[in-house]
Amino acid sequence: MAQDPRKGKPANVGTDPNLEEEIRRRAYVLYEQRGREDGHDLDDWLHAEAELTAQVMKAAA
């Protein structure tokens, strides 16, 4: 899989609409697990993105 030299991620990670939807769903699960406490949306998104990106990269290796 081609690498995006700016980010060190597979080139399609930022453009895969299915991955984006999975990140969105995982971020919502994190939000619910925290008791739906507002103000952590970016944290939830970044956490979900890191988890799922790691899974994609591991699967590609």
Asked if 10 and 57 count as a contact pair (C-beta separation under 8 A), the reply is yes
Structural domain boundaries of the chain? 24-61
Question: Which residue type is seen at 40?
Answer: H
Asked if 23 and 52 count as a contact pair (C-beta separation under 8 A), the reply is yes
7 vs 57: which has the higher pLDDT: 57
Mean pLDDT over each residue of the chain, to the nearest integer: 82
pLDDT tens-place string over residues 30-45: 999 999 999 999 999 9
pTM of the model: 0.70
CA distances for 42 relative to 4, 19, 23, 47, 49, angstroms: 23, 17, 12, 8, 10
**Residue range 24-35: mean pLDDT, rounded:** 96
CA distances for 48 relative to 2, 5, 35, 40, angstroms: 22, 22, 17, 12
Q: Would you say residue 12 has pLDDT above 70?
A: no
The tokens of 11 are what?
Answer: 């080139």
